[in-house]
Amino acid sequence: MPRQQREQTILSAASAEFGASSYAGAHMSVIAANADVSKALVLSYFGSKEDLYIACVERAGETLAGAIGDAMPVPSGGASDGERVLEAIFTTLADRPSDWPVVYDRTVPAGRARDAAREQRTILREQAMAGVTRALADVGLDDPDDLSAATMVWEHIVSALVQWWQQHPEQSAAEMTARGRRILAALSDRPVPTT
């Protein structure tokens, strides 16, 4: 197997382990076994658990930010920015459900790994702020405190939906998108869609 392909296999196994067990609970031996390689090979490719987590969190953050970025600049009409962003998140997580818990893992100790996770969360928060700013501008709100509070509310809604989905993995990305659309409509006093 070419090195690049093996690295991706290791990253996928590591993301799954970090996502399921958290940084604190993840074991390099489990990652190696799930990637069907030796622990020594994992260490030779990535150096340490911290470096492996950094590679995972950067990959996860870049994937999520890319999907969100692609969903945001669509002109008005049809689905709202929030609905398109939720669809992008759920569609992305359908293939890699561990990406969200990897980025939002609070067990990562101080150091380069925590800094890398914080950097990815900051990118996602900036995207959330841009989307919220645009949505609130449409209804005439531009107060910085309103924007800050609404961004935090949005982040918590998305996190809660993703966490609920993790507890109900039988739900598809399309079902979660529809669920998110219904919840957003109910919260914004719009007519609730039937799908």
Secondary structure of the chain in the HEC alphabet?
Answer: CCHHHHHHHHHHHHHHHHHHHHHHHCCHHHHHHHHCCCHHHHHHHHCCHHHHHHHHHHHHHHHHHHHHHHHCCCCCCCCCHHHHHHHHHHHHHHHCCCHHHHHCCCCCCCCHHHHHHHHHHHHHHHHHHHHHHHHHHCCCCCCHHHHHHHHHHHHHHHHHHHHHHHHCCCCCHHHHHHHHHHHHHHHCCCCCCCC
pLDDT-derived band at 100, boundaries 50, 70, 90: very high
Instruction: Return the minimum-mean-pLDDT range out of 21-25, 30-34, 141-145.
Output: 141-145
Residue with tokens 């870049």: 62
Which tens digits make up the pLDDT trace of 13-24? 999 999 999 999
Q: Which CATH number fits domain 56-187: 1.10.940.10, 3.10.20.30, 1.10.357.10, 1.10.10.10?
A: 1.10.357.10
pLDDT at 189: 72
Percent pLDDT > 70 in the chain is 94
Contact between 14 and 31 under an 8 Å Cβ cutoff? The reply is yes
Residue-averaged pLDDT of the chain: 93
In 10 A of CB 143, how many CB atoms? Answer: 10
* 135 or 39, greater pLDDT: 39
Q: What is the pLDDT of residues 73-89, one digit of tens each?
A: 766 555 688 899 999 99
Contact 89, 67 (CB under 8 A): yes
Angle between helices 28-35 and 3-25 (to 10 degrees): 150
